[in-house]
């Protein structure tokens, strides 16, 4: 692992690192394959996986023969990534780098692919983060992102509930906000897939449980919403939840 940068270790992710390593959604969620296919990841390419967490995206890229720098500020998440890389026999194609998105000790213009999956909503400064990721791309290189994407009329509610569940949540962006940021960073959209899925409240809440205080706070805040917005969020079911995810690729 390269030299630690900054002190951005998150108590939330330190506590839940083992759960993320095993999470079926993170390890094998459909958006992983959609992202890799849309990125057209091929052997011999160089990739950077920003906010790699326990490394699911980085390891899948490495298994496609890509050389990956896997970046994350949380040591406990990187330790799981290191363990999984050994288990899957791809350590020679994965370099772990401890850093936050705003302070990555990496070479500008050095990557064919920059990936960021299920993590962008944690970043404190979205325009700066997109700029930092775009800067890593070689000319013609591709940025691939998968992240939650609320409808604009529910964005404030969803971001509020997400922050109660996970204090490291900053902001999930709407489609319009993404399009503006990408244009500002000089990137051209090549692939765009918005998916809506009905899931359960408990499933969305995981790895936080309904029994702990964060779980209870979310439930109370949900009940306090006007019925029309709560119904839309829950699809009219007391245990329902609306999940919306955007997967896109944009080229430099
Ligand atoms: C849900 S995990 C990422 C999942 C992973 N990309 C995957 O495909 O399985 C979110 C990660 O974001 C990282 N993170 C939080 N704030 C960050 C920041 N400012 N810069 C980079 N990574 C950050 C956390 O340490 C955590 O490991």
Question: Sign of dihedral through CA atoms 154, 30, 217, 202?
Answer: positive
Instruction: Give me the pLDDT at residue 229, please.
Output: 92
**pLDDT tens digits for range 137-163:** 999 999 999 999 999 999 999 999 999
- Domain contains 144: yes
Stretch 119-131: mean pLDDT: 97
Stretch 219-242: mean pLDDT: 90
Distance 138 CA to ligand 1 centre (A): 23
| pLDDT-above-70 percentage for the chain | 96
| 121, two tokens | 């909503």
| 217, two tokens | 């706070």
Residue 73 pLDDT more than 80? Answer: yes
**pLDDT tens digits for range 181-197:** 999 999 999 999 999 98
Query: How many domains would you assign to the chain?
Result: 1
Instruction: Give me the pLDDT at residue 6, please.
Output: 36
Beta bridge partners, 1, equal none
Residue pair 106/71 in contact (Cβ under 8 Å)? The answer is yes
**Whose CA is closest to atom 25 on ligand 1?**
74
Please report which confidence band the pLDDT of residue 1 belongs to, taking 50, 70 and 90 as the band edges: low
| Distance, CA of 164 to CA of 204 (rounded, Å) | 13
- Domain contains 46: yes
Eight-state DSSP code of residue 10: -
CATH of the domain at 84: 3.40.50.150
Residue pair 161/222 in contact (Cβ under 8 Å)? The answer is yes
pTM for the complete prediction? 0.92
For a mutational test of ligand 1's pocket, the pick from 59, 70, 71, 72, i.e. the residue with the most ligand atoms closer than 8 A to its C-beta, is 72
For the sheet containing 188-200, what is the strand order? 94-98, 67-72, 46-50, 111-117, 137-148, 240-251, 188-200
| 162, two tokens | 């997400």
φ/ψ of 30, rounded to 5, equals -55, -35
Distance 168 CA to ligand 1 centre (A): 10
- Domain contains 79: yes
| Distance, CA of 54 to CA of 37 (rounded, Å) | 21
Q: Is any atom of ligand 1 closer than 6 Å to the C-beta of 100?
A: yes
Q: Kindly give the pairing relationship between strand 240-251 and strand 188-200.
A: antiparallel
Eight-state DSSP code of residue 2: P
For a mutational test of ligand 1's pocket, the pick from 20, 34, 51, 208, i.e. the residue with the most ligand atoms closer than 8 A to its C-beta, is 51
Please report which confidence band the pLDDT of residue 213 belongs to, taking 50, 70 and 90 as the band edges: confident
- Domain contains 184: yes
Of 78, 29, 76, 32, the residue nearest 52 (C-alpha): 78
CA trace torsion 223, 224, 230, 233 (10° rounding): -80
Please report which confidence band the pLDDT of residue 211 belongs to, taking 50, 70 and 90 as the band edges: confident
Residue pair 233/242 in contact (Cβ under 8 Å)? The answer is yes
Domain that holds residue 184: 11-150+168-196+244-251
> Residues with Cβ < 8 Å from 244, sequence gap 6 or more?
148, 149, 150, 151, 194, 195, 196, 197
Half-sphere exposure of residue 26: CA atoms within 13 angstroms, side-chain side: 25
Distance 207 CA to ligand 1 centre (A): 15
- Domain contains 140: yes
Residue pair 61/49 in contact (Cβ under 8 Å)? The answer is yes
Instruction: Give the number of other Cβ atoms within 10 Å of residue 140's Cβ.
Output: 8
- Domain contains 47: yes
- Domain contains 235: no
- Domain contains 226: no
């Amino acid at each position: 692992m390269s030299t630690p940068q900054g002190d951005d270790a998150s108590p939330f992710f330190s506590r839940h690192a083992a759960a993320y390593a095993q999470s079926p959604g993170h390890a094998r969620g459909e958006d992983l394959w959609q992202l890799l296919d849309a990125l057209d990841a091929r052997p011999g390419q160089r990739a950077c996986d920003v906010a790699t967490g326990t490394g699911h995206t980085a390891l899948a890229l490495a298994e496609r023969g890509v050389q990956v720098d896997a970046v994350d500020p949380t040591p406990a998440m990187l330790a799981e990534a290191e363990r999984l890389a050994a288990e899957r026999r791809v350590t020679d194609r994965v370099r772990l780098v401890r850093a936050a998105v705003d302070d990555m000790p990496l070479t500008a213009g050095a990557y064919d692919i920059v990936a960021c999956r299920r993590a962008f909503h944690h970043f404190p400064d979205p325009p700066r983060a997109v700029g930092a990721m775009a800067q890593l791309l070689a000319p013609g290189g591709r940025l691939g992102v998968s992240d939650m994407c609320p409808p604009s009329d529910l964005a404030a509610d969803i971001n509020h509930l997400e922050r109660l569940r996970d204090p490291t949540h900053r902001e999930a962006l709407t489609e319009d906000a993404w399009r503006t940021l990408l244009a500002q960073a000089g990137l051209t959209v090549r692939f765009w897939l918005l998916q809506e899925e009905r899931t359960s409240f408990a499933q969305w809440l995981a790895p936080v449980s309904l029994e702990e205080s964060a779980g209870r706070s979310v439930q109370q805040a949900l009940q306090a919403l006007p019925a029309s917005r709560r119904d839309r969020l829950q699809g009219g079911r007391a245990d329902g939840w609306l999940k919306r995810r955007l997967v896109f690729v944009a080229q430099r």
